[in-house]
Structure formats: C-alpha cells, structure tokens
Amino acid sequence: MSRTDAHVPIHIRIARGDLAATAHHDHASGECDLPPRHDVAHDWRPVTRCQWRFAFTGIYVCSCEMCHEGRAHRAERRRSRHTATSDARLAVRRWNTGDRTLE
C-alpha cells in the first residue's frame, strides 16, 4: 500500500506544518521546555512538559469517526434519505393524478 498523506501519523503532519498547531505550555518544572516544532516528529510522546498540539481550524483533515460522524449517524442519514425519497414519490404521484396544490 502506498504511503499517502492520509496515512501519515498526526504528529508528523504537525511537525511538517501540514496541520495547524498551538503551543501548549505546562510550566510545572519552572521553565518552558517546548521543543522546536520540527523536533516533534522524532517522538510521539515527548518527554517535555510543553508540547505542540493539534489546533482545529474547522477543516476535517482525517477520516476517523471522531472527526466525521461515522456509524453513529448512519441510521439517521438513511432514515432522512428514505423520508425524502418517499415524500418526492408522493408529490409526483399527486401531481400525475391532477392534484396541483402544493403543501
């Protein structure tokens, strides 16, 4: 399988600058130990307290179910499509039988 951007781990995408990121600071040890952004690619769980974290910009960047509705809304979407289809068929049937009123 080819290695496309869809398969690149999120920490690599943050390090490369493909995704927006914000600096998250935890100065419990006293000073800021935030690594440079390009160093994030070396380790998924850095040993520093300050980290670069994904910043949601309103654009869904992955195909996971946390970003997209996934299976949770599948039945709801199917029900909605079925209702719209049956409403359209009913409207066509009424139109073809001479009922020209709109409701």
Q: Do 54 and 79 reside in the same domain of the chain? A: no
Q: Do 43 and 73 reside in the same domain of the chain? A: no
Helix boundaries (H) for the chain: 10-16, 74-96
Rounded distance, CA 75 to CA 47, Å? 43
> Is 40's pLDDT higher than 60?
no
Instruction: Identify whether the C-beta of residue 41 lies closer than 8 Å to the C-beta of residue 8.
Output: no
Q: Do 98 and 58 reside in the same domain of the chain? A: no
Q: Which domain holds residue 102?
A: 69-103
Q: What pLDDT is stored for residue 81 in this prediction?
A: 94
* pLDDT tens digits along 58-97: 776 665 666 666 676 778 888 999 999 999 999 999 999 9
Q: Do 3 and 53 reside in the same domain of the chain? A: yes
Number of domains composing the chain? 2
Q: Do 47 and 82 reside in the same domain of the chain? A: no
Q: Do 26 and 56 reside in the same domain of the chain? A: yes
